[in-house]
């Protein structure tokens, strides 16, 4: 390992966010005459949330139960894929990274088992909704890979086709609006493969069960693998901070459901 490589890594971890902010908080705590304990607590908390060991442990506890192949069952009604963001005005495949992985896995599962697929996701901007981004991505796949993924304007049971639910703004609305579409299609107690990121699956399943779905989890978009640890994992980094954000967002979401007696 060369000296240049070591210094470049140190520069990356210590002089770029979040490292530079953590150092600034520790320095401020050292020199401060007031609020020293508060500044130190903030620095330590920020460091822990930006540390791969801590962040990955929090996220892996959400992912691990769903990091496996979905159980095969008879009489599956459909595959439901949850949106995960989009990029407006993207020149190609406008779905966000998480959403694109979900969409590809959902399409693969639906095609393999000849099932209809419902993509659920709207957004605040109806003209650039997640569902429109999904349909555009499907059309690009059809064109560039010479596929024939059939697009429908409603959920049609019995064979492989894709349709969208384009009004929901969060996972609760994903579940409620999806259920309304299944009711309209004459499926009262649908049995579905639910496709979303593994870290999001637990909360999504709770909500889909709550509105009347029978759910088989079909998770994708695994964030935490089993790569060997290195000394650099002790340094703060943005990837770990994002993993902490994703994990805490899910934990607080599940807590909110518990407080509202929806679990």
User: How large is the average pLDDT for residues 86-99?
Assistant: 91
Q: In the predicted model, what is the mean pLDDT of residues 197-203?
A: 98
Distance CA 216, CA 78 (A): 11
Q: What is the pLDDT of residue 263?
A: 65
Find the helix packing angle between 238-259 and 36-49, rounded to 10°.
Answer: 100
**How many Å apart are CA 187 and CA 180, to the nearest integer?**
10
Confidence category of residue 89, pLDDT binned at 50, 70, 90: confident
Give 10-58 as a DSSP string: HHHHHHSTTHHHHHHHHHHHHH-SSSHHHHHHHHHHHHHHT-HHHHHHH
Read off the pLDDT of residues 212-251 as tens digits, 9 standing for 90 and up: 999 999 999 999 998 898 999 999 999 999 999 999 999 9
pLDDT value, residue 2: 82
- CA–CA gap between residue 102 and residue 108 (Å, rounded): 10
For residue 216, list its beta bridge partners. Answer: 193
Task: Dump pLDDT digits (tens) for 34-86.
Answer: 899 999 999 999 999 999 999 999 999 999 999 999 998 899 999 999 999 99
Residue 144 has pLDDT above 70, yes or no: yes
Instruction: Compute φ and ψ for 89, nearest 5 degrees.
Output: 65, 20
Q: From CA 114, how far away is CA 160, in angstroms rounded?
A: 5
pLDDT band for position 1 (50/70/90)?
Answer: low
Given the DSSP bridges, would you call strands 161-165 and 116-120 parallel, antiparallel or unpaired?
A: parallel
Short-list 87, 167, 76, 75, CA closest to 119: 167
Quick: pLDDT tens for 174-194: 999 999 999 999 999 999 999
Question: Bridge partners of 81?
Answer: 119, 195
Quick one: pLDDT at residue 72? 85
Of 95, 66, 27, the residue nearest 204 (C-alpha): 66
Alpha helix ranges (H) inside the chain? 3-15, 19-31, 36-49, 52-63, 97-112, 130-144, 171-184, 198-210, 238-259
Roughly what angle, to the nearest 10 degrees, separates helices 198-210 and 52-63? 40
């Amino acid at each position: 390992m060369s000296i240049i490589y070591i210094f470049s890594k140190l520069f990356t971890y210590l002089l770029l966010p979040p490292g530079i902010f953590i150092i600034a908080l520790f320095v401020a705590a050292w020199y401060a005459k007031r609020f020293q304990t508060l500044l130190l607590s903030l620095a330590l908390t920020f460091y822990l949330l930006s540390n791969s060991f801590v962040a990955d442990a929090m996220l892996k506890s959400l992912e691990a139960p769903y990091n496996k192949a979905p159980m095969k069952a008879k009489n599956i009604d459909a595959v439901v894929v949850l949106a995960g963001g989009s990029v407006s005005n993207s020149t190609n495949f406008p779905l966000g990274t998480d959403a694109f992985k979900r969409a590809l896995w959902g399409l693969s599962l639906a095609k393999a088992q000849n099932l209809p697929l419902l993509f659920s996701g709207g957004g605040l901007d109806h003209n650039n909704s997640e569902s429109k981004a999904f349909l555009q991505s499907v059309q690009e796949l059809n064109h560039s890979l010479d596929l024939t993924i059939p697009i429908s304007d409603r959920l049609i049971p019995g064979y492989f086709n894709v349709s969208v639910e384009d009004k929901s703004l969060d996972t609760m609305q994903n579940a409620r609006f999806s259920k309304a579409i299944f009711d309209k299609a004459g499926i009262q107690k649908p049995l579905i493969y639910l496709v979303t990121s593994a870290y999001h699956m637990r909360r999504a399943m709770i909500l889909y069960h709550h509105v009347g779905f029978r759910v088989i989890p079909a998770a994708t978009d695994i964030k935490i693998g089993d790569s060997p640890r290195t000394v650099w994992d002790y340094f703060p980094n943005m990837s770990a901070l994002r993993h902490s954000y994703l994990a805490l967002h899910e934990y607080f979401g599940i807590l909110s459901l518990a407080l509202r007696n929806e679990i």
